[in-house]
Amino acid sequence: MQPTTSPYIEVRRSRIHGNGAYAKKDIPRGAIIIEYSGRKITKEESDSVYEEQRERHERDAENNGAVYIFELNKTWDIDGNVPWNTARYINHSCSPNAEAVNTGRRILIQAKRSIRKGEEITYNYGYDIDSYEDHPCRCGSPRCVGYIVDEDDWPKLRRMQKKKKRRGFWKRLFR
Ligand SMILES: [Zn+2]
């Protein structure tokens, strides 16, 4: 399979993590930048692939992004960790300029706002909050919440972190 291409992006070393996708030219808001392609897998397969990718990431986070699985619909997920999926180089950010849009058949990366030539393309990976501590974020954005978590869950994340801090306080007090 030939790697997917887009007139809008080029892949090079990223300041956020590993390689990243950069705007090769100005991208208008709403433009479809590239498809997030991959292997269609069943939910069952998805669980084991998830574990595998998570472990690999833990062993060598510099060379292995975290998890490349997207939920497509009730039956299928997409494993984007395949050599032809150029969109896998797109990094996560807490203030992204693009977003992943699920049409039920395909995952498309779409510009959330107009993007200038040379900007790094990012979207929110939308990870589940349950295992947030496995996915620290170093996107460098002023809005960074410290973890790769779906924006809908940010209020919940803040509550969880506050609770944790309080617990730490009591532990220190009574040691
Ligand atoms: Zn961040």
Distances (CA, A) of 69 to 11, 75, 83, 128: 20, 13, 14, 12
To 5 degrees, how large is the angle CA 43–CA 46–CA 48? 125
Residue 2 counted as domain residue:
no
Residue 115 alpha carbon to ligand 1 centre in Å: 19
52: domain range? Answer: 9-173
To 5 degrees, how large is the angle CA 71–CA 113–CA 109? 25
The CATH number of residue 39's host domain is 2.170.270.10
Residue 130 alpha carbon to ligand 1 centre in Å: 17
Residues 121-172: tens digit of each pLDDT: 999 999 889 889 888 999 999 999 999 999 999 999 999 988 887 776 666 6
Residues 16-35: tens digit of each pLDDT: 878 899 999 999 999 999 99
Q: Do 20 and 96 meet the contact criterion of CB atoms below 8 Å apart?
A: no
Residue 1 counted as domain residue:
no
Residue 159 alpha carbon to ligand 1 centre in Å: 17
CA–CA separation, 124 and 141 (whole Å): 12
Ligand 1 ion: nearby residues, β-carbon < 5 Å: 94, 137, 139, 144
For residue 89, the surrounding DSSP H or E stretch is none
Q: How many domains does the chain have?
A: 1
Residue 81 counted as domain residue:
yes
Average pLDDT rounded to a whole number, residues 9-18? 89
* Residue 2 Ramachandran class (φ > 0 left, ψ -120 to 50 alpha, else beta): beta
Interacting residues of 171 by C-beta distance below 8 A, sequence separation 6+: none
Residue 3 counted as domain residue:
no
Residue 118 counted as domain residue:
yes
Kindly report the pTM of this predicted structure: 0.87
Average pLDDT rounded to a whole number, residues 34-53? 93
